[in-house]
Amino acid sequence: MDKHTSTLERQLERARQLLDGSELSLAELGKAVGVSASHLQRQFSARYGLSPAEYLAQRKLGMLKSGLRDGHDVSAALYDAGYGSPSRVYEDGAARLGMTPARYRAGGAGEAIRWSVIDTALGRALVATTQRGICMVELGNEDAALEAKLRTEFPQAVLERVDAGRDEFLAPRVRAVADTLAGKHASVPVDLLGTAFQKRVWDALMKIPEGETRSYAELAAAVGSPRAARAVASACAHNRIAIVVPCHRVIRGDGSAGGYRWGLPLKQQLLQRERAA
């Protein structure tokens, strides 16, 4: 790393720290760290996968979600998170929270999710779907633990368990997931619930051909943020849809397996199976 790169890295990290504690405009942020606004915009986006404005928006959204989950009054949670008025977050609340702040505070009250736990080639799997597509495929050994994970994000959602996926809506989706987990080709409609950057990463994951892998850096380049390998790794770690969104196809630059939400032995098993096929 040359001296210029090292200085820029420190400036970008300082800019991120400032955004964590304050709400600065791009011009103010650039002046504070000694980088022009346009250069900061480009380099920050390349490094973190988000522009300074998007990073600030995600931080505020995270604070809002924490406040709502803790049971704070909606107005108080909005202002504590740094929203000057409720209008901005209500205008695009569905895009960011999946619902309005009031409904999010209620634990997703009224949201309809159908789900089932089934036996698959990889063991027990919970499959959950909204009207738009599969929103969660979770692997595990105990049904109770799988259900608990489903309820974590939206404990007041209308969760309808469908025995073995036996209804006209869920059954074909469960079969498609089971086929995918068995290594067969199947079309599985998905409902990707995450930030804009996470969705770009998850979309890119689904474009990696079976039997191939990409490094975190290569995936970062594929989504247009070549210096955001860490952000890509974080997006992979937050993938809720096991196997169908194939984060197991991402490895470290040195060829080692890296991390995997469902355990490295399964990741290695999946890669070996796909390469053999």
DSSP string, 73-115: -HHHHHHHTT-SSHHHHHHSHHHHHSS-HHHHHTTSTT-EEEE
Q: What is the pTM of this model?
A: 0.64
Residue 247 predicted with pLDDT over 60: yes
What is the percent of the chain with per-residue pLDDT over 70, rounded to a whole number?
80
Residue 162 predicted with pLDDT over 70: yes
Are 105 and 151 within 8 A, CB to CB? Answer: no
Q: Which of 138, 200, 127 is nearest to 164 (CA)?
A: 127
Average pLDDT value for residue range 45-58 = 81
Number of Cβ within 10 Å of residue 93's Cβ equals: 19
The residues annotated as belonging to the active site are 247
Query: Tell me, what's the pLDDT at 8?
Result: 87
The yes/no answer on whether domain 3-99 falls in CATH 1.10.10 is: yes
Domain with CATH 1.10.10.10 in the chain: 196-276
**Per residue in 191-246, pLDDT tens?**
887 777 888 899 999 999 999 999 999 999 998 888 888 889 988 998 989 999 99
Cβ contacts of 162 within 8 Å, gap of 6 or more? 114, 115, 116, 170
**Per residue in 91-122, pLDDT tens?**
444 445 544 555 555 555 566 888 999 999 99
Residue 187 predicted with pLDDT over 60: yes
Are 41 and 17 within 8 A, CB to CB? Answer: no
**What's the topology of domain 196-276?**
Arc Repressor Mutant, subunit A (1.10.10)
**What's the topology of domain 112-181?**
Double Stranded RNA Binding Domain (3.30.160)
Between 5 and 166, where is the model more confident? 166
Q: What are phi and psi of 247, to 5 degrees?
A: -70, -10
Between 89 and 274, where is the model more confident? 274
Q: What confidence category does residue 151 fall into, taking pLDDT thresholds of 50, 70 and 90?
A: confident
Question: What average pLDDT is seen over the chain?
Answer: 82
Average pLDDT value for residue range 155-167 = 78
Domain with CATH 3.30.160.70 in the chain: 112-181
Residue 69 predicted with pLDDT over 80: no
Instruction: Give the integer Cα–Cα distance in Å for 162 and 139.
Output: 17
* Residue 172 identity (one-letter amino acid): P
Q: Is the dihedral of CA 67, 86, 234, 187 positive or negative?
A: positive
Query: Tell me, what's the pLDDT at 84?
Result: 57
Looking at residue 141, what DSSP letter applies? Answer: S
